[in-house]
Amino acid sequence: MSDLKNLRDLTLPELEELAVKLDEPISRAQQLFSRLYRPLPNSFCQMHNISKKFLAKLNEVSFIGEMKLQQKEMSRDGTTKYAFILTDGNIIESVLIPSNGRNTLCISSQSGCAMGCKFCLTSTMGFKRNLQPSEIVGQVLFIANELKSNKNNYINNIVFMGMGEPLANYDNTLKAINILQDEKGLGFSDRKITVSTCGITPKIMELAKISGVNIAISLHAVDEETRTEIMPINKKYPLQDLLSCCSELSANQQRQILIEYILFKGINDSEADATKLAEALEGFNCKINLIPYNEHPALPYQQSTPEVASKFMDILCKAGHLTIIRHSRGSDISAACGQLASKEK
């Protein structure tokens, strides 16, 4: 099967190219693309409204990939974590977070991660490989289908905040976004998709130029030394360059940039740190999410106290910044921010 194309790796234009190569009209590809996602077929024999001649040709050069669930865990707070085993044995995790009748799905873009953030369990896995578009979109498809079958419900928002750095897998992430957004695919709007990055500045600007999805910046410190210590990527893409990138985005984007700032006890949570952050983001069109750190025995960092977090937020708010404290969900099943780490070989 290695020589066959997974049809769910292809965007609509790529599927149209394949149809032309198979001497079929482009309209066949458009019909097929829509059928790949609504409702979900797992084989060609389930595509009753597609030309049998076209399906026979496709069967010789392609297949329809699907995700295989390894484990599903439910948190006390209603959060659900899904572990999917890939064809090569690697495992990735996705997290469904219900809130006030709405569902946010956190998806992975890589198996493992190469960014080396010192506070993140995923980084302890090391980097396994990039996910294909079908594996990124497949997480959404599987869980959306389950929601529809069991609860007559659906996914409201998608966040690329699971395993891996989406912009380090830029091409496949972009293809996945195109499939998710295509009206013949899954039809998610820009406003319903958020891509989170540790700060790969060239790719941030590239994505912003061609897509209107929301962009979230994992900042976590506002001095070069501290950020480099907890986020080694800062050596390659320094804080000041990242802030300049955010400033340009803020000036050019109508929607707010999301700034994510995890609070670590005694490292980045002082009143002086809050003041520095307020000054660094002055004039930015942004929203700041303060995130209490999710502690783990394998890592040395500690969570800031609620009192410190509240004071930190007050300083930002008084400086005119829209700020909230975002309490992570699913910590009892290791599904909270920074806790995703599969146990594959």
Cα distances (angstroms) measured from residue 306 to each of 232, 269, 299: 28, 11, 20
Least confident stretch, 215-219, 227-231, 324-328, 334-338: 334-338
Q: Where in the chain is the domain with CATH 1.10.150.530?
A: 5-63
Residue pair 210/243 in contact by the 8 Å Cβ criterion: no
- Residue 345: what pLDDT? 42
Half-sphere exposure of 297 (CA within 13 A, CB side): 0
All residues at 6 or more sequence positions from 36 whose CB lies less than 8 Å from its CB, including other chains: 7, 8, 64, 185
Residue of 335, 324, 328 whose CA lies nearest to 286: 324
Residue of 193, 85, 84 whose CA lies nearest to 143: 84
pLDDT at residue 196 is higher than 80: yes
Gap between the Cα atoms of 47 and 288, Å rounded: 46
H or E stretch covering 112: strand 110-112
Gap between the Cα atoms of 247 and 325, Å rounded: 23
CATH architecture for segment(s) 5-63: Orthogonal Bundle (1.10)
Q: Is pLDDT larger for residue 219 or for residue 339?
A: 219
Q: Is pLDDT larger for residue 278 or for residue 253?
A: 278
Q: Is pLDDT larger for residue 16 or for residue 255?
A: 16
Q: Where in the chain is the domain with CATH 3.20.20.70?
A: 68-333
Gap between the Cα atoms of 107 and 162, Å rounded: 5
- Residue 273: what pLDDT? 98
- Residue 141: what pLDDT? 94
pLDDT at residue 148 is higher than 80: yes
H or E stretch covering 44: none
Structure tokens at 117: 């953030």
pLDDT at residue 340 is higher than 60: no
CATH for 68-333, options being 3.20.20.70, 3.40.190.10, 3.40.50.300, 3.40.50.10190:
3.20.20.70
- Residue 333: what pLDDT? 57
- Residue 1: what pLDDT? 46
175 pLDDT band, cuts 50/70/90, is very high
Strand order in the sheet with 102-106: 68-74, 80-85, 91-99, 102-106, 157-160, 193-197, 214-218, 257-263, 286-292, 322-325
- Residue 43: what pLDDT? 80
pLDDT digits (tens, 9 = 90+) for 288-331: 999 999 888 888 999 999 999 999 999 999 999 999 998 776 66
| Mean pLDDT on 270-280 | 98
pLDDT at residue 341 is higher than 70: no
pLDDT digits (tens, 9 = 90+) for 90-125: 999 999 999 888 999 999 999 999 999 999 988 888
Give the residue numbers annotated as catalytic, written as ranges: 93, 337
Least confident stretch, 44-48, 160-164, 269-273, 290-294: 44-48
Gap between the Cα atoms of 159 and 173, Å rounded: 12
Gap between the Cα atoms of 211 and 259, Å rounded: 19
Mean pLDDT for all residues in the chain:
91
Residue of 245, 241, 246 whose CA lies nearest to 257: 246
Gap between the Cα atoms of 256 and 260, Å rounded: 12
